[in-house]
Amino acid sequence: MTLSWSDLKIGDTLPPYTAGPLTRTHFVRYAGASGDFNPLHHDETFARAIGLDNVIAHGMLIMGIAGEAVSTWIDVKHLKKLSARFLSMTAPVDWDDPENTTKRATIVITAKIVKIYEEERVKMIKADIVAKDLQGSRKLDGYFLAAFP
């Protein structure tokens, strides 16, 4: 879906974007791509030693998923800003909770248009974004700004 300036209204919601379920392999691949090899993200023994039930996703992996969602809604060349804050941890699908693991490891990004305006003769929108798992736990929230020709 590519957004069109003329079709947008404040309060519009964008189609949800779903990623996952995320596995430990996703975490390890992200570690390799980012260079962040903190054992918190791949070593269950280490994670348990510091008081967690399991390894957790890199926050920036979740933000990357949010960025991927934004790029499905708008052409990336129109993106002016993406801002987010991290709210809770994400465990992988291989967590030892067979009833809820997929729900906890699947991330859904939603967005709502909160502002439509012009700035220096450029048509702009601001949309709030939220990332949640299927149990409703908020992983991050933030916003993006986009300019339209």
Kindly report, residue by residue over 77-98, the tens digit of the pLDDT: 999 999 999 999 998 886 555 5
> Which tokens sit at 146?
């986009």
Alpha carbon of residue 52 to chain centroid? 22
Domain 5-148 in this protein, CATH class: alpha beta
3-state SS assignment for residue 53 = coil
Q: Which residues contact 92 (CB under 8 A, 6 or more apart)?
A: 22, 23, 24, 26, 27, 54, 55, 57, 101, 105
pLDDT, tens digit, 9 for 90 and up, residues 56-69: 999 999 999 999 99
Walk across the sheet containing 122-133 and list its strands: 13-19, 107-119, 122-133, 138-148, 79-86
